[in-house]
Amino acid sequence: MLRFRRMRSLQKFASVHASVHNHFNQERASYSRQNFRANRAAALAEWRGLCAG
């Protein structure tokens, strides 16, 4: 994350990466829904922490 000089560049990379990762992630079907929600909540909390400061 420190390689990005602008927040806009980081956001653009993250949005593209998320789309590609979700499309090609073959292990996603083996996760339980509860585990998937917990992982997404943790990722969202980390993202909000990065954007806040």
CA dihedral 19, 24, 25, 26 (to 10 degrees): 150
Mean pLDDT by 10 residues, the chain (53 residues): 74 80 69 83 84 71
SS3 38: helix
CB distance 28 to 22 below 8 Å: yes
Instruction: Write down the pLDDT at residue 26.
Output: 62
First to last CA, the chain: 13
Q: What is the reported pTM?
A: 0.46
Please report the sign of the dihedral spanned by the C-alpha atoms of residue 29, residue 34, residue 39, residue 43: positive
Instruction: Write down the pLDDT at residue 1.
Output: 53
- Taking the CA of residue 50 as centre, how many other CA atoms within 13 Å lie in the half-sphere pointing to its CB? 15
Instruction: Write down the pLDDT at residue 17.
Output: 81
Instruction: Write down the pLDDT at residue 53.
Output: 62
Instruction: Write down the pLDDT at residue 51.
Output: 76
